[in-house]
């Protein structure tokens, strides 16, 4: 016990909650990936010293209240419209760091058009995409990203391709668009992946200063409540099943296509 007192001194702190996170208790379910990603965004904002220059666009879905937890300026978008809000915000205030934060129900379904067009225009924004393969907030319904065979409240026998189509790979789609500069798929299920994901988010923010196009960061996530699994088990299920269909790592790391390369088409 005497040892503990010697160790637990202010000067020996090697990790503590960043001040960019507020002291509010998050409303997320225990073990939800949202909390980890919020923390990483807040840590990146602190490290880059851009707390007063960052504007987040929060979505509709479980993370609708993201603005309660990261202490920066925020806008709340209508369902799926976060990339459109982010576009306007960034164009009006090009020196600010603007990011959208969306789940898969928001980004890949009702907001698919906004997502594709913001990426295709190469807006200088960072898009954070939490993919937990279902609609969490409304009770675990099938989303475009739900895996084949995965049981949800609207696919009680599992997703069926003939009936429901294929799981949508948004990240692969936006990687193919000329406007994106950095497209990656990350996760936060263990300490190593948390560190990698933080680097990816940081790069996404740094790209805004370089004005080289849209950075798109998917975080393959869990929804313990929707998946009806304890958090540790959900992480294991994700590694086994989600990573096979949603492979981890960078898909694209470049600058947006050079506009000059496109001029030949009208000559």
Residue 223 touches which member of another protein, ligand SF4, none, C-beta under 5-8 Å by kind: ligand SF4
66 makes contact with ligand SF4 (CB under 6 A): no
What are residue 184's phi and psi, to 5 degrees?
-145, 155
Least Å from the CB of residue 236 to another protein: 9
From CA 107, how far away is CA 113, in angstroms rounded? 9
Residue 266 touches which member of ligand SF4, another protein, none, C-beta under 5-8 Å by kind: none
Cβ atoms 153, 141 nearer than 8 A: yes
Q: Tell me which stretch binds ligand SF4 (CB under 6 A): 37-45, 194-202, 209-217, 221-229.
A: 221-229
**In the window 4-43, what residues touch another protein (CB under 8 A)?**
4, 6-9, 12-18, 21, 25-26, 28-36, 39
244 makes contact with another protein (CB under 8 A): no
What are residue 135's phi and psi, to 5 degrees?
-85, 110
Cβ atoms 220, 37 nearer than 8 A: no
Q: Tell me which stretch binds ligand SF4 (CB under 6 A): 1-9, 66-74, 179-187, 222-230.
A: 222-230
The strand pair at 134-135 and 73-76 is best described as unpaired
From CA 166, how far away is CA 186, in angstroms rounded? 21
Q: What is the DSSP letter of 81?
A: -
Residues 112-137 as b or e (16 or more Cβ within 10 Å = b)? bebbbebbbbbbbbbbbbbbbbbbbb
116 makes contact with ligand SF4 (CB under 6 A): no
When binding is defined by CB under 8 A, the residue of 206, 219, 230, 255 that contacts another protein is 230
Residue placing its CB nearer to ligand SF4 in the complex, 106 or 123: 106
Q: What is the DSSP letter of 84?
A: H
47 makes contact with another protein (CB under 8 A): no
Q: Tell me which stretch binds ligand SF4 (CB under 6 A): 46-54, 148-156, 223-231, 248-256.
A: 223-231
Residue ranges binding ligand SF4 (CB under 6 A)? 28-29, 32, 34, 62, 132, 136-137, 223-226
């Amino acid at each position: 016990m005497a040892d503990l007192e010697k160790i637990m001194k202010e000067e020996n702190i090697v990790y503590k909650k960043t001040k960019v996170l507020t002291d509010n208790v998050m409303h997320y379910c225990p073990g939800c990936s949202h909390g980890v990603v919020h923390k990483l965004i807040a840590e990146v904002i602190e490290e880059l010293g851009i707390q007063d220059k960052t504007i987040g666009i929060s979505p509709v879905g479980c993370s609708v209240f993201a603005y309660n937890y990261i202490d920066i300026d925020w806008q709340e978008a209508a369902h799926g419209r976060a990339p459109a809000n982010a576009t306007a915000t960034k164009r009006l205030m090009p020196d600010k760091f603007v990011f959208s934060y969306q789940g898969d129900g928001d980004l890949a379904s009702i907001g698919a058009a906004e997502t594709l067009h913001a990426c295709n225009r190469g807006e200088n924004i960072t898009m954070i995409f939490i993919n937990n393969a279902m609609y969490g907030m409304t009770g675990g319904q099938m989303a475009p990203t739900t895996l084949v065979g995965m049981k949800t409240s609207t696919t009680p026998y599992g997703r069926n391709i003939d009936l429901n189509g294929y799981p949508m790979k948004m990240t692969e789609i936006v990687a193919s668009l000329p406007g994106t500069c950095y497209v990656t798929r990350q996760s936060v299920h263990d300490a190593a992946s948390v560190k990698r994901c933080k680097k990816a988010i940081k790069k996404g923010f740094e790209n805004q200063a370089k004005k080289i196009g849209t950075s798109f960061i998917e975080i393959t996530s869990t929804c313990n409540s929707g998946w009806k699994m304890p958090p540790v088990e959900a992480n294991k299920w994700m590694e086994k099943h989600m990573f096979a269909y949603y492979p981890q790592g960078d898909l694209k790391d470049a600058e947006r296509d050079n506009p000059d390369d496109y001029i030949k088409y009208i000559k």
